[in-house]
Amino acid sequence: MKIDKTSIGERIKMLRQAKNLTQEELATRAGLTKGFISQIERSYTSLSVESLIGILDALDEKPSTFFDGAFDEQIVFKLKDRVELEIDDVKAFQILVPAAQNRLMDPALLEMDAGEKTPEEAPHEGEEFGLVLSGSIELMLGGKVYKLKKGECFYFKSTRKHFIANRRKNKAFVLWASSPPTF
């Protein structure tokens, strides 16, 4: 099996996120710096065997497990694989597939209480899709308001300012995907 530094960095990031550790927490546990962990995860540097063993110890991961099929394509993602992002004014925003920067889309689950809204996004490259799983939302796209309820979806090019709001009294859940990844 051929293993390159990109694969190692991605795998370390996935393991760190799965254990709900920040880069700083992992660095402290491994006796390294946060900057070095960041560089490894983004494949800006390679690491010594000693540093890799220290990181794996900090992650409670055996080297044999780390390399045993670790770079096969992951097909199924479990609840524990989700990565929680903190978004201002949004109850919960979970990335459903970690390491999406190496994929063509970035799926997320958005949970919004009454009155919450996502931050307004400036126009950017790509496309976005969303499916309202429960509740109802308003999509603001380029100054126009679109009302969606359970079972309805949206799809648009991300070339206009946009955000989602829950103007109702009930909680709303939205499956949201962007391509290329932007979350």
End-to-end CA distance of the chain: 31
Question: What secondary structure does DSSP assign to 114-170, as a single string?
Answer: TT-BPPPBPP-SSEEEEEEEESEEEEEETTEEEEEETT-EEEEES-S-EEEE--SSS
Give pLDDT tens digits for 66-106: 776 555 677 888 898 888 888 888 889 898 988 765 678 88
What's this model's pTM, rounded to 2 decimal places?
0.61
pLDDT reading at 2 higher than 50? no
Return the domain boundaries, the chain.
5-67, 79-179
79-179 topology per CATH: Jelly Rolls (2.60.120)
Q: Looking at domain 5-67, which of 3.40.50.720, 1.10.260.40, 3.40.50.300, 3.65.10.10 is its CATH number?
A: 1.10.260.40
pLDDT of residue 6: 45
Cis? peptide before 180, omega within 30° of 0: yes
Give pLDDT tens digits for 106-134: 899 999 999 999 999 999 999 999 999 99
The residue type of 96 is L
